[in-house]
Amino acid sequence: MAFLVLQYSPEVCAPWNWFGFRSETEILRQHDDDGFLPDRGHLIVELVGEGEPVPIGTVSWHAVDYGPPPTSRGWNIGITLVPEWRGHGHGTRAQRLLADHLFATTVAERVEASTDVENTAERRALERAGFSYEGVLRRAQFRAGGWRDMALYSLVRGEGAPLEG
């Protein structure tokens, strides 16, 4: 939990995931104590090698219902890595592992992700993770004083080459 609260700072989240200062209570209200609720969840991304695992960021997901759940329920995922761990392929891998986990543990047929049209790193990470570009959600997100266009991507069950390694 401490990692979640510390991570929600402008130093880590700006520009793409920064929506202004929020109280610790508000940050934690979005998450339950163990990271899982029926319609949302989060996990800490850890690098596992020799020695202690290193926390390098968080991934999250929330339900998007396109009709009555559970059959028409998909998941929208998000990610923030701490700056020093970006650009090493971890974002690609973490998002694909999360999608695979959601397909393995729920009946969802669709995992989607949206990001600012100008967020090149996230767009490339999603493409490398096997997601397909679907189009633009116009003026969908309010951030940094303005409405932002979001690029929408999805991965459907059975799609995408397995991750290497």
Residues found near ligand COA in the complex (CB under 6 A):
16-17, 57, 78-81, 86-92, 115, 119-122, 124-125, 128
Any idea how long the chain is? 165
Q: Min. distance of Cβ 107 from ligand COA in angstroms?
A: 25
Tell me whether residue 41 or residue 91 sits nearer to ligand COA (CB atom): 91
Residue 148 contacts residue 140 (beta carbons within 8 Å):
yes
Closest CB to ligand COA: residue number: 91
H or E segment and range at residue 80 = strand 73-81
Nearest residue (CB) to ligand COA, 57 versus 130: 57
CA proximity to 116, closest of 155, 82, 84, 146 = 146
Least distance (Å) from ligand COA to the CB of residue 110? 17
Task: Kindly tell me which of 98 and 108 has the beta carbon lying closer to ligand COA.
Answer: 98
**C-beta closer to ligand COA: residue 70 or 87:** 87
User: Measured from the CB of residue 127, what is the shortest distance to ligand COA in angstroms?
Assistant: 8
Phi and psi for 19 in degrees, rounded to 5?
Answer: -120, 20
Q: How near is the Cβ of 114 to ligand COA at its closest, in Å?
A: 7
Pairing of strands 73-81, 110-116: parallel
Q: Which of 22, 4, 38 is nearest to 106 (CA)?
A: 38
